[in-house]
Structure 1
Amino acid sequence: MSCNVNERTYIMVKADGVQRGLIGNIIGRFEKRGFKLIALKLVHATPAHIEKHYEVWSGTPFFPGLIKFMTSGPVVAMVWQGLGAVETGRAMLGETNPLASAPGTIRGDFALDIDRTICHGSDSVENAEKEIKLWFPEGVVQYDATFASWIFE
């Protein structure tokens, strides 16, 4: 686990999570865990933007369907900061296959279909930084969180 309290991760509530009204629940889980929200916006992304985000999957049979799904409605783009943000964020989301996700995880509680996984989360610090730059070229907001001393020694 990373020991950097300033580690950042990119979390996105996908179109299915937005349509199902899960935005507040997902934000609440990250807040309750102790992460600091430093960027947030509702975006109806273009196919080109989604293609760039998921370029690692281009050429796969499911890529066209992924692009169609991700542009079918708005998504919520977020940047969360805190100790081990990437690894913990992924653990909070659960397994990519929702049927393998433990109860208590976002996917374990809200998803059934591998093509409707509610959220995306960065899989590494390096990819988090790339995704943050892609979704927030204007930058993020930094502020002192008064709760930090109650979470970190």
Structure 2
Amino acid sequence: MSHHDERTFVMVKPDGVNRGLIGEVVSRFEDRGLQLVGAKFMQIDEELAHEHYGEHADKPFFDGLVEFITSDPVFAMVWEGADATRQVRAMVGETDPAESDPGTIRGDFGLDLGHNVIHASDHEDEGANEREIDLFFEEDELVDWTRSGTTWVYEDAE
């Protein structure tokens, strides 16, 4: 369990779902050696959207954000691994796809700031992960397991 010391929240947004990118996103995290511990294909309602984006409530773009995230289904996930949040953020790219490097999810698939395919917990926001995981998942929806083959993922694995 020592290698799976961090869980992080990730969500394919409605634009990514509509563009058929769920499998691509999952594959990239699996390829990286991260382990999926929870996933849910769901429709976000207005209440959940308001909770999720609460920090932006007073910003001019808030209503558009809520409208977009509730427009179609999302694919919410929890990934686990060493330094998972930072790893995922590096793979996701910058908030603005135009500033994201090729090879990142947003750099490869993002079209504009509003429709940037994916949400990932911020590694600089202490507690963001737990808050977002608790918002989207019940404790019993997360599976505690060890992927076989982790010997080949971490060099100091048993």
Fraction of identical pairs, as percent = 45
Counterpart for residue 135 of structure 1:
136
Whole-angstrom distance in 1 between the partners of 2:108 and 2:146: 32
Whole-angstrom distance in 2 between the partners of 1:4 and 1:54: 31
* Higher mean C-alpha displacement, 132-141 vs 115-124: 132-141
Q: TM-score, normalised by structure 2?
A: 0.92
Counterpart for residue 103 of structure 1:
102
Give the C-alpha shift of residue 150 in structure 1. 1.0
Secondary structure of the residue aligned to 1:45 is: coil
1:94-146 deviation digits (Å, cap 9, x = unpaired) = 00010000000000000120000100000035111111111002431011211
Give the C-alpha shift of residue 5 in structure 1. 3.2
Counterpart for residue 18 of structure 1:
17
Give the C-alpha shift of residue 147 in structure 1. 1.8
Counterpart for residue 113 of structure 1:
112
Runs of at least 4 residues off by over 2 Å: none
Whole-angstrom distance in 1 between the partners of 2:108 and 2:59: 28
- How many pairs are equivalent? 151
Alignment RMSD, CA only?
1.3
Give the C-alpha shift of residue 148 in structure 1. 1.3
Counterpart for residue 149 of structure 1:
151
Secondary structure of the residue aligned to 2:127 is: helix
Counterpart for residue 63 of structure 1:
62
What stretches of structure 2 of length at least 5 have no aligned partner? none
